[in-house]
Homo-oligomer: A and B are copies of this chain.
Amino acid sequence: MTQERRGSTSPVRVAIVGFGVIGKRVAEAVQLQPDMELVGVADIFADWRLAEVARRDIPFFAATAEAVPAIEEAGGAVQGTLDDLLPQVDVVVDCTPKGVGAKNATRYRQVGVKFLVQGGEKHEVAGHSFVAEVNYRDAVGRDATRVVSCNTTSIVRTLHSLKTAELLARARGTLLRRATDPWESHLGGIMNTLVPEPEIPSHQAPDACTVIPDLDVVTMAVKVPETLAHVHFWVAELTREADRAEVLAAFRRSSRTVAVRADQGLGAVNAVKELMLDLGRPHGDLYEVALWEDLVAVQGREVYYAYMVDNQAIVIPENLDAIRALSGVTADPDESIRMTNESLGVGRIR
């Protein structure tokens, strides 16, 4: 049985399972929230990342009992195993690789702890898929939700903006997916090619419909040889004629979409990442959809636009809001989104 929260003044107790690209960012972000306590992270590695965990003063738990000897041999201070960690928390954030979260979900349910999985898992694993600006309220008090993938998050944010402005009839997108994450790009070798995903349409559009069921959206995707970010190109058909200003205003409805200008030197993903680093954001993370404002073009009832998605970062604010929703610490999406945005600097790029 899920343990109920003990009152609105005590912080939400959070565990993170899987301390990889997403897990370490969620950990860092949870530590910034006044209404959350990071009780511990669980993983199985026995390498340089142990020092990283220690440096951040995060209690470390072995995700499996078998992993304990190697972790201790590598100098890691093991606080126990996942079995010890789970009863201590209100919400588990599962950030394990695709497929592992589905297996873990069964365990979380057995223990009776609320959990959220990442977008690599199927919708059915949690029975609910989450993007804060769209369906925070649906997730309040639920046992589980799924923070959708980076690409899907960006699609949902932007199309929700157009839809809320009653402008969206349908949208067709081409998604350029970065080949690999920077931290493991030494494993892939130099890739001098383009690799279309093996099926058209690609899975991201149906995935967006797990959050907004009635979208008319189709996507195609292709793997490209760079590591910094995804870029999406869209053709959206509007419900009526609208000018550029109205379309830009619609996109601005999301506090997690920011406008950048190609004609001011930010016309490539490396330049936008450089700005994030200059801003002092951890890891140079871009939490927002970065929409190239000056490229947005309207012709008749169609709008054409392109934006950038930092696949390591865009879901981090969503994870924080999902923790709040599941725990029920606040039922108000705006309150959670505001707290998250302020703590991470979301929307502040100047």
Contacts and interface: CB of A to CB of B under 8 A. Distances in A.
A297 interface: yes
Interface residues of A, number: 42
Contacts of A306: 196, 200, 220, 222
A220 B308 CA distance: 15
Contacts of A195: 267-269
A224 B230 CA distance: 11
A65 to B, nearest CB: 41
A45 interface: no
Interface string A77-96: 00000000000000000000
A194 B267 contact: no
A194 B299 contact: no
Contacts of A292: 196
Interface in A220-246: 220, 222, 224-229, 231, 233, 235
Contacts of A191: 226
Interface string A286-297: 000000100111
A57 interface: no
A324 B268 CA distance: 43
A229 to B, nearest CB: 7
A162 B263 CA distance: 36
Stoichiometry, copies per complex = 2
Contacts of A194: 176, 224, 226, 228-229, 231, 268-269, 308
A220 B233 contact: yes
B196 A218 contact: no
A196 B8 CA distance: 47
Given A200-B295, A201-B297, A233-B174, A302 B226 contact: no
A199 interface: yes
Contact of A231 (B196, B201, B225, B270): B196
A9 interface: no
- Residue with the highest number of chain B CB atoms closer than 10 Å, among A174, A220, A262, A268: A174
A233 B269 CA distance: 20
B218 A302 contact: yes
Interface of A: 172, 174, 176, 191-196, 198-201, 218, 220, 222, 224-229, 231, 233, 235, 262-263, 267-271, 292, 295-297, 299, 302, 304-306, 308
What are the nearest 8 A-B pairs in CB distance?
Answer: A174-B174, A193-B270, A195-B268, A174-B233, A200-B295, A172-B235, A200-B297, A194-B231
24 contacts: A172-B235, A174-B174, A192-B228, A192-B270, A193-B228, A193-B269, A193-B270, A194-B224, A194-B231, A194-B268, A195-B268, A196-B233, A196-B262, A196-B268, A196-B295, A196-B306, A198-B267, A200-B296, A200-B297, A200-B304, A201-B297, A222-B231, A222-B233, A235-B235
Given A194-B268, A194-B269, A196-B295, 8 more contacts: A176-B224, A192-B226, A192-B228, A195-B269, A199-B295, A201-B297, A218-B299, A225-B225
